[in-house]
Every structure is written in structure tokens, then in C-alpha cells.
Amino acid sequence: MKKNNHKRTTKKIGLPPGALVYTGTPKEGDTEITLITYDQESADTFSSTDLKEINSKVQENRVNWINFDSLHNTELIEEAGKIMNIHNLLLEDILDISHQPKVEEYDNFLFFTLKMLELTKEGHDHQYDHVSFVLGKNYLLSFQERKGDPFDPIRDRILTGKGKVRSRDAAYLFILLLDAIVDQYFLILEKINNDVAQLEIELFENPAESTVNKIILQKKELNILRENVYPVAEGFKLFRIDESDFISDEYMNYFNDIKDHLKQISDNINNLRETLTSMMEFYMIRLSNQMNQVMKTLTIIATIFIPLTFIVGIYGMNFKYMPELGWKWSYPLLMLFMLAGSIGWYIYMRKRNW
């Protein structure tokens, strides 16, 4: 995944700062824009590919959530920046899917960009999605790399009037969306934790080279997850909600709860990385012990056969005068001596716990 991101960032080489280039996978078709506007009494939703049409539906006395479901249409993103007075450098961050998560506050809005992780429908894999938020006094813009997100329960609560969301401002909506993203981190981490537990069983019962490859892949996946989660946790840690003009102090508990969840996720990632490292060390120790057993067996065999080889070598010489060669019982006596010597060596090594 890092390799792909590196290739994508090369698209921007040589361009001036603020140049709007989408660094993700090329896509076709129009970007769908969805507006949900609501107050305590009611909520309305509109969808269109025309930003001007969506903007005409925005109501100043209500909370307005505008969501862009893809980023490939740079002209549309630039148009949104002009309408909402967003600087091109921030639009550049929105379009750069390899950009690290960060949070910044400006005079007119709060800007937050991070990675959204989602399990696939089959539940066997997960995908990364670059998402950015622009929070103003009565609006929230969300920019997603692709269509599909974990926000449907929040949309349902807004449209049906369930919960507190309709009676709160855009900042509360922003916190709900962040919390939904962090919850996805927990789901991904739970899947990885289950995979690691399965690898532990496999490693103890039947360790093989394929098991080691799985451990390495899991460690790479954890490193990527760590790269995406740690900056978010650091951003939350540095951001002071009590100094923000866009998030009320009454949401301090919600904000701190997300911070605690991110810390818990970071700690779990570290624990899993240590577990995988220990598993690799265990495999190497076990492999070394197996090699030692093989060497021990070969050494015992060599120790037994070296004297026998010496005796055979003596009687393989073609000297004319070897008196014992003419004895009637020389052959069986020699065989008996060699057998007794081998058994004696074996008993001696067993007593010495070799």
C-alpha cells in the first residue's frame, strides 16, 4: 500500500504549491453531492451532481451537511473551495490521498483530514479511504475518496429525528462522524486481533514457512494502520477544544471520549506488534532447536560409525601378512566387537544425556 501511495504522489512532482491534482486511482463519471439540511423540527435531503443546485438548497438558519462521494473531479472541488472560501493549499490536501492526518483551525472553519477504514462486505479484508472535513458555524463539508461510508446510521437519525442530533449544531454532527470513523478502527483491530490469535494457534500446533509469511503480512498491515491512526491521535491530543471557535465546550466529554478510544487503539496496536514480534522470535527459537536436534542426531550417528569406519579401513588394506585374516572365527568376532562397541557408545551417550 505504501508503494502505491508513493506512485500516486509522483503525479504532483514539478507542480506549484496549491496545484489541484487527484493522486488516487483514476475514475470516471460525475461526483454525486448530497446535502442534508435540518433543524429541530424537520430534515431534508437533496442529491445532485451540480454544486450550484446543491448550494441553492443551503439554508442559513439550519445545519447543512454537504457530502462529496469522490475526489476525482478536481474542477468540482475547486468550485467548492471558491464557494466556501477554502484555500487551494487545503484543497490540495483534500485531493492528496497519501496526505497524513491533520487538524487545523482557520478564521472561517476547522479543517480535519484523516483515513477512514472499512471492512469489506465479506469481512475478510478492509480498505482505506481518504476523507476530509470542513466545519463551519452552520455547515459541515465532507470529502470522500469513494462512495460508501459508515455514516448511514447517523443519516437515519437525522432524517427520522431520533436522538439528539437534530437539536444540536454542526459541531455535534462532526463529532458523531469522527466517532463513527474511530469505531471502524475498532472493527479492523478486532479482525486483526482474531487473525493474530489464529496465527498463534497455528504457530504452536504446526509451524511452517507459510505461517511466518502470514505473520510478516500482519505486521505490515499493523504498521500501515499505525501510520494512519497515530497522527489522528496526536492531532486530537494537540487540538484544544476549549480554544476552538467552532466546537462548543459542552462537547468536551464527547471529544475526550474519542481521544480515549484513539489511545486505546494505539495501545492495542503496540501490543499486537509486540505479540507478532514474540511469535517471530518463538518460531526462530523453535527452528533453531529443531536444527540442533538434527545436528545432535547426526553427531551421534557419526560418533558411532567413526570407530567402525576406522576398523573397516584397517582391514580394507591389502597387506600380505595379516595373521588374523586366516583365523576361523575372526570375522564373527570382529562383527561382535563392532556391534558391542556401537552399543557401548550409545549407552555411554545416553548416560551423559547427550
Within 13 A of 172's CA, how many CA atoms are on the CB side? 15
How far apart are alpha carbons 189 and 235 in whole angstroms? 20
How far apart are alpha carbons 162 and 219 in whole angstroms? 41
What Cα–Cα distance (Å) separates residue 142 from each residue in 27, 108, 116, 193, 260? 19, 16, 12, 30, 24
Q: What is the mean pLDDT of residues 7-12?
A: 54
Residue range 309-322, pLDDT digits in tens: 887 887 777 777 77
pLDDT of residue 36: 96
pLDDT of residue 10: 55
- May I ask the CATH class of domain 291-351? mainly alpha
Q: How far, in whole angstroms, is CA 294 from its chain's centroid? A: 38
The four Cα atoms 264, 268, 270, 275 give a dihedral, to 10 degrees, of: 160
Q: How far, in whole angstroms, is CA 288 from its chain's centroid? A: 30
What Cα–Cα distance (Å) separates residue 179 from each residue in 48, 260, 284? 27, 11, 41
pLDDT of residue 58: 92
- Is it the case that residue 92 has pLDDT exceeding 60? yes
| Domain edges within the chain | 2-284, 291-351
pLDDT of residue 207: 76
- Is it the case that residue 124 has pLDDT exceeding 60? no
What is the residue-averaged pLDDT of the chain?
Answer: 84
DSSP string computed for 144-205: ESSS--S-HHHHHHHHHT-SSGGGS-HHHHHHHHHHHHHHHHHHHHHHHHHHHHHHHHHHHH
Cβ within 8 Å of residue 52, ≥6 positions away: none
- Is it the case that residue 2 has pLDDT exceeding 70? no
- Is it the case that residue 47 has pLDDT exceeding 90? yes
- Is it the case that residue 187 has pLDDT exceeding 90? no
Sign of CA dihedral 346, 350, 352, 354: positive
pLDDT band per the 50, 70, 90 thresholds, residue 76: very high
Amino acid type, 274: E
pLDDT of residue 50: 92
How far apart are alpha carbons 135 and 105 in whole angstroms? 9
Instruction: Write down the pTM of the prediction.
Output: 0.78
Residue range 26-40, pLDDT digits in tens: 787 888 999 999 999
What Cα–Cα distance (Å) separates residue 326 from each residue in 56, 331, 342? 119, 10, 25
pLDDT of residue 338: 80
**Mode of pairing for the β-strands spanning 63-68 and 139-144:** parallel
pLDDT of residue 7: 44
pLDDT of residue 121: 57
How far apart are alpha carbons 262 and 103 in whole angstroms? 15
Q: What is the mean pLDDT of residues 241-249?
A: 83
Q: How far, in whole angstroms, is CA 164 from its chain's centroid? A: 33
Sign of CA dihedral 30, 174, 191, 220: positive
Higher pLDDT, 30 or 44: 44
Q: How far, in whole angstroms, is CA 132 from its chain's centroid? A: 20
- Is it the case that residue 253 has pLDDT exceeding 50? yes
Residue range 193-215, pLDDT digits in tens: 888 998 888 888 877 778 888 88
Pick from 62, 63, 60, 112: nearest CA to 86: 112
pLDDT of residue 21: 86
Higher pLDDT, 120 or 152: 152
With beta carbons less than 8 A apart as the criterion, state whether 30 and 9 touch.
no
Q: What is the mean pLDDT of residues 295-312?
A: 80
pLDDT of residue 1: 39
Let me know the angle formed at the C-alpha of 161 by 139 and 59, rounded to the nearest 5 degrees: 30
Let me know the angle formed at the C-alpha of 251 by 250 and 256, rounded to the nearest 5 degrees: 125
pLDDT of residue 3: 38
Residue 339: φ, ψ to 5°: -65, -45
Q: What is the mean pLDDT of residues 268-279?
A: 90
Q: Which fold has domain 2-284?
A: Beta Polymerase; domain 2 (3.30.460)
pLDDT of residue 38: 95
